[in-house]
Amino acid sequence: MEFIILKDEINSQEDMEQWLSQLGHPDNPISNNGVLAHLEPHFVSCDFANKEATIGFEALPWELNPGGSLHGGIIMTCFDVSFGLTCHYFAKQHMVTTINLTTTFLKPVLLGDMVHYHVKVTNLGRTLISLTAEATTMRNGKEILVGTATATFMKLDKIFERPI
């Protein structure tokens, strides 16, 4: 599959799906280095019209706290990554940065749980992007809400040197 580059004229459900589905692509400078490569995010779904995306992460052994559940910092990082990836689609080649991130932890995440972080852009301004998210997992055939978060990101003037 050829890696697609985000451009201002790329604005559709199909384009959003194609770009987000490239999370593991070898040419993707966002998800193939640093913390994202270790977290192994994967695209679950998106809704361009409603400015929503769902990114999945499996709870891995190295991410556990001493109590045996997913470390809270990892949960916050997964929220941050999910927010950031959603923002990147709408910011195109502009870098983005987290301004604030508030997380509420509701239930523990266990080793092997697949957690889906469902992100919704609530305000898409010229510079600031506000978002909300819910993190859920399935246990015994039941969807469990494990956390919620809100965030504000800033679209920077700085452009990626290598196209995303």
Domain boundaries, the chain: 13-159
What pLDDT sits at residue 14? Answer: 87
Domain 13-159: assigned CATH number: 3.10.129.10
What pLDDT sits at residue 12? Answer: 82
What pLDDT sits at residue 155? Answer: 93
CA distances (Å), 132 to each of 26, 92, 138, 155, in order?
A: 29, 20, 20, 17
pTM above threshold 0.85: yes
What pLDDT sits at residue 151? Answer: 98
What pLDDT sits at residue 129? Answer: 96
Distance in angstroms (rounded) separating the CA atoms of residues 23 and 3:
10
Closest CA to 132 of 152, 155, 149, 154: 149
What pLDDT sits at residue 2? Answer: 66
pLDDT < 50 positions in the chain? none
What pLDDT sits at residue 1? Answer: 59
What pLDDT sits at residue 83? Answer: 95
What pLDDT sits at residue 5? Answer: 64
